[in-house]
Amino acid sequence: MNENLAYCKLARIESLKINDISQNEVKIESEQEVGIQFNTDARKGLKMYVRSPPEE
């Protein structure tokens, strides 16, 4: 593993876009490109792991 490329960082999604149109939420049922803006910088080739909020 290249240590220069491996790191974990918490980030909040601030906006989502599909075909340059802002979305409040998206449901992905087939392969498509989604634009994601985070509250912090992200590297090219980013791998995301989604953390669901705890159930109340």
Which residues does 38 contact at the CB level (< 8 Å), separation at least 6?
A: 11, 12, 13, 14
**pLDDT for the residue numbered 16:** 95
Cα–Cα distance, 16 to 36 (Å, whole number) = 5
According to DSSP, the residues that pair with 38 across neighbouring strands are 13
Question: Tens place of pLDDT for every residue, the chain, 56 residues?
Answer: 555 666 788 888 999 999 999 999 888 889 989 999 999 988 777 787 777 777 77
Question: Which sequence spans correspond to the domains of the chain?
Answer: 1-56
User: What pTM value is reported for the model?
Assistant: 0.63
H/E/C letters for each residue in 7-35?
CCCCCCEEEEEECCEEECCCCCCCCCCCE
